[in-house]
Amino acid sequence: MTRQKRSHHKLKRAVAPYLYLSPSLLIIGLLMLLPMVTVIAYSFQNSAVLRRDPSFAGLKHYQAIFDDPVFWASLWHTLYFTCMSVVFHMTIGMIFALMLNSDRINPMLRNILRVLYILPWLFTAVIIAVIWRLLLEPNGVVNSILMQIGIIGSKVEWFSSPETALHAVTFANIWAGYPLFMVSLLAGLQGIPKDFYEAADIDGAKAYQKLIFITIPMLMPIIISISLLDFIWTMQVFPLIWITTGGGPIYSTEVLSTYTYKLAFSSYNLSQASASAVVILLISLGLTLFYIRYQKAR
Amino acid sequence: MRKRHTPKDRLITVALHVALAAGLFFAAFPIYWMLSSSFKSNTEIFALPPTILPKAFTLEAYAAILGDPVKLRFFFNSYFVAGAVTVLTVLIALMAAYGFSRFNFRGKGSLNTLIISTQTIPPITLLIPFFGLVVSYGIFDTYVALILTYLVFTLPYAILLMTGYLNTLPRDLDEAVAVDGGTSWTALWRVIVPISLPGIVATAVYTFLLCWNEFLFALTLTKSTSMRTVPIGIQLLMGQHAFEWNQMMAMSVLGSLPLLLIYLVAQRYFLAGMTAGSVK
């Protein structure tokens, strides 16, 4: 190669990665970063989107949101819904993974059960919502079974009474989400070296001691990273709640996403909705920074 | 080796199987109930006591769905949008992943972090500016609006998934192309793509799934019945005739078929796609 050719080649090599990345960066930049800037701008404008020359509103819309008791109720419901979901996703996922990993069950049974236990994962949120509405209908099968065995005395309107609605949607979400933990933990369990357990056996360790001192510490990285991701994603849940209760009755299941959606597309108060969307973004970003730091530290 | 003949040991094994059965009931009963209700008449669904197997097995709910062009259109829209986004995502992500995997360049680390962090941006935050953009560009209620918005959510994950896969392939392969005087572009399409099929399938499966399930943007960025996708169709069905539960269940079964089939046929790719981001 001549020197000119070689430097030409070098230049190509230097530019190439940017060319390969350009379509992705263009899409992410124009359709993700720019809209994020836009929504922040909207939150400081009066009648954003609806007027061509919106006036500057300062922090007015943030003030309005923080003065709104429904916002604080939504924040609390989101927190309850999310924490309960993550804790139970983890617990159920862990129990199922440990059971499936036991050498006391027949390998064929194990494979069949593994497929069946994953089932809830294969259904989209809307379908999960519809299934649980059918199951929890006042005249539905759950009430009928619970009355038969005497747990409840009369028909409960799970999704339409303010006392039970939040618990009911949380339960449906717990059912829908544990397989991510189960699958990840099962993969993690299979990665723990067998010698650890053999060494513990020689020392006469009991089953629960092996669980506490070997299994759980070895699975900790997976537990923490999935919990964080699950927390971030569950906080953003919209369709499940939208279809089962729509945030009602009397705001008892209103979460940040339904609260924001209603502000934007029922009241057409897009400025205030933007302020609320920015609050959600900030919470998510905080958690994401935490997640990325944790991933890098590993 | 473990001794398994003591009574205590046998008791543990029995207890484990009882717990497994309880777990199975918890996981599968709601789905079984959807399936069995879709074969019942609407009156039988709320019969007391509930009938576990359909007493009068009927396909009327399926006939009602499949015979209605409006509902078939929901399915067409879902397949079309999900298919288009999948093809575009795989092509674009493949190129980006190749850039990340085979080149060192200024800003690589921060771009990678940027892409990881975009995965957790709340959809509701982007919804309002998207609505503004889509209306002002006159693409409200079109396929283009859905395809563009879905791309934003599928790309980051697809790039990470593909980069992870390409990193496992030996570099000598594409370097051989360079020695022969070929460009990196030729190397990508002639050498890398043919051996990356498992990674491409996992990415495609994951992307398709994400699009098939999407609700919020389809709800907000489309309006006419002919532009609605399956999830919105199910919700509309609930509003129209609140008591046609058997049709709602039949539509849910039909709406779940693609994912169930993908899962059964390509379980490995499915799980690879669903867990890659969280385990690695």
Q: Is residue B1 part of a domain?
A: no
Average pLDDT over residues A55-60: 83
In terms of domains, do B107 and B95 share one? Answer: yes
Interface mutation vs chain B, best among A21, A121, A206, most B CBs within 10 Å: A21
Which of A96, A131, A242 is opposite residue B23, by nearest beta carbon?
Answer: A96
Note whether B188 and B196 are within 8 A (CB). Answer: no
In terms of domains, do B69 and B49 share one? Answer: no
Q: pLDDT at residue A274 above 50?
A: yes
Residues of chain A neighbouring B271 (CB-CB closer than 8 A): 183
Q: What single-letter DSSP state applies at residue B178?
A: H
Asked casually if ipTM beats, i.e. exceeds, 0.95, the reply is no
The residue ranges of every structural domain in chain A are: 60-297
Crossing angle, helix B69-102 and helix A3-28, to 10 degrees? Answer: 140
CATH number at residue B93: 1.10.3720.10
Of chain A, the end-to-end C-alpha distance in Å amounts to 44
Contact yes or no for B131 and A113 at CB 8 A: no
Residues of chain A neighbouring B37 (CB-CB closer than 8 A): 134
Confidence category of residue B279, pLDDT binned at 50, 70, 90 = very low
Residue A247, token pair as written in the block:
């945030």
What pLDDT shows up at residue B275? 64
Domain that holds residue B38: 7-60
Question: Mean pLDDT, chain B, as a whole number?
Answer: 87
| Ordered alpha helix ranges (H), chain A | 3-28, 34-42, 60-66, 69-101, 107-118, 125-135, 141-148, 165-190, 194-202, 207-210, 216-235, 239-244, 256-265, 270-297
In terms of domains, do B194 and B235 share one? Answer: yes
Note whether B177 and B115 are within 8 A (CB). Answer: no
Residues A224-233: tens digit of each pLDDT: 989 998 999 8
Residues of chain B neighbouring A35 (CB-CB closer than 8 A): 126, 129-130, 133
Lowest mean pLDDT among A16-25, B42-51, B209-218, B267-276: B267-276
Pick the CATH number of A60-297 from 3.30.450.20, 1.10.3720.10, 3.30.70.1520, 3.40.50.720: 1.10.3720.10
Which of B46, B129, B220 is opposite residue A265, by nearest beta carbon?
Answer: B220
Q: What's the rounded Cα separation, in Å, for the pair B9 and A164?
A: 41
Contact yes or no for B275 and A180 at CB 8 A: yes
Q: Is residue B2 part of a domain?
A: no
Domain count, chain B: 2
Average pLDDT over residues B252-262: 91
In terms of domains, do B222 and B210 share one? Answer: yes
Interface mutation vs chain A, best among B124, B205, B237, most A CBs within 10 Å: B124
Q: Is residue B134 part of a domain?
A: yes
Q: Please give, rounded to a whole number of angstroms, the shortest distance from the CA of A163 to a CA of chain B.
A: 23
In terms of domains, do B46 and B147 share one? Answer: no
Residues of chain A neighbouring B117 (CB-CB closer than 8 A): 285, 288-289, 292
The proportion of chain B whose per-residue pLDDT surpasses 70, expressed as a percent, equals 94
In terms of domains, do B54 and B172 share one? Answer: no
Which of B46, B95, B271 is opposite residue A183, by nearest beta carbon?
Answer: B271
Q: Is residue B261 part of a domain?
A: yes
Confidence category of residue A295, pLDDT binned at 50, 70, 90 = confident
Question: Mean pLDDT, chain A, as a whole number?
Answer: 89
Of B111, B213, B87, residue with least CA distance to B163: B111
Q: What are phi and psi of A253, to 5 degrees?
A: -120, 15
Q: pLDDT at residue A141 above 60?
A: yes
In terms of domains, do B75 and B132 share one? Answer: yes
Lowest mean pLDDT among A103-107, A254-258, B54-58, B181-185: B181-185
In terms of domains, do B238 and B152 share one? Answer: yes
Q: Find the residue in B nearest to A264 (Cα).
A: B128
Lowest mean pLDDT among A201-210, A213-222, B61-70, B175-184: B175-184
In terms of domains, do B178 and B207 share one? Answer: yes
Q: What's the rounded Cα separation, in Å, for the pair B250 and B163?
A: 39
In terms of domains, do B45 and B138 share one? Answer: no
Q: Is residue B120 part of a domain?
A: yes
In terms of domains, do B14 and B85 share one? Answer: no
In terms of domains, do B103 and B148 share one? Answer: yes
Residue A263, token pair as written in the block:
């502000």
Interface mutation vs chain A, best among B125, B215, B257, most A CBs within 10 Å: B125
Q: How many CA atoms lie within 13 A of B189 on its CB side?
A: 7
